[in-house]
A and B are shown apart, each in its own frame.
Chain A
Amino acid sequence: GQQVMQIPQYQHVQEGEDFTTYCNSSTTLSNIQWYKQRPGGHPVFLIQLVKSGEVKKQKRLTFQFGEAKKNSSLHITATQTTDVGTYFCAVGSYSGAGSYQLTFGKGTKLSVIP
């Protein structure tokens, strides 16, 4: 099935610093979604990207989809303590059994030092 690599696994930043997490695939993606999971919480949808080279912004968050649709990034400008959590990318993919499912990356756990 589809493998999607997400890096880094962990990131510790000082409050006010920027943060970026990357999601990489060896195959062309149809779509990519980003989720945030706060400690003790459940994943919350942030955005979906479907077009090559697409860039979307949500306040301090910037999402990009690569030109070849094989990678994506989430960038947070001037992190705040409210940004703490694990950020997941998720891609639609066919499994070996022909099932089309959402495959999640392992996530990047963000810690913000006040």
Chain B
Amino acid sequence: EAAVTQSPRSKVAVTGGKVTLSCHQTNNHDYMYWYRQDTGHGLRLIHYSYVADSTEKGDIPDGYKASRPSQENFSLILELASLSQTAVYFCASLGLGGRAEQFFGPGTRLTVL
């Protein structure tokens, strides 16, 4: 069973603070993604990665950094958290071939106060 886990599952941060969201996959997938979901809206792509030690910007990268230290791990970093970054963040992984399906983690609910 493909698995993507995220930590923490919920976090409250202060404006201007640093936040790190972590994602771990055991799918042996090369591709990993970070999306954000705002209340009542679809998901938007923040960053993604093809391979360890390399990341790419998605559609809304401003205010976020990403880090892919290994194939299994992909982090999203908010250096200076802002109120507008309150959202649910989803990580996903993708292995090419086969069903070509992105597997999503359960999400991290981030509240910035």
Co-assembled chains A and B: no
Chain B interfacial positions (CB closer than 8 Å to A): none
